[in-house]
Amino acid sequence: MRIGYARVSTQEQNLDLQKDALKRAGCEKIIEDVISGKAENRSGLDRAREQLREGDVLVVWRLDRLGRSLKHLIELMAELEKQKIGFLRNMFCYPCSQFLHMLNRIEEHIFGHGGENRSGIPSNALG
């Protein structure tokens, strides 16, 4: 099953564009949040994650709708991979391990190469 997650920061913003894209991506359920992306606790994201099962796919319109930071995205992707849950962003499907590898390479580029980067995740831990 594909479960979509849509988020806006304020009541004045509109979720329609995200919801339309998620519907086109084949989402059977769409969970919404109206909360700042910097908020640590997002009830909609928590609900989406609770509903995901092995083999399901979490779908978001853009990465900034999902993660608070690069570190948060890497941690979330690692958790999804552990649960054997896929990830789809803006109509591009990635196995979580491939996406984790891409995020890790981006982080290495930003923070430099080394055994351990600012996220606390060893550079070789993700591939």
Task: Give me the residue label for tokens 């991506």.
Answer: 25
- Which tokens sit at 24? 């086109």
9 assigned to active site = yes
Name the burial class of residue 53, with classes exposed (0-12), middle (13-18) and buried (19+) by CB atoms within 10 angstroms of its CB: exposed
In the set 9, 97, 119, 123, the catalytic residue is 9
Beta bridge partner(s), residue 30: 4
Give the residue numbers marked as catalytic.
9
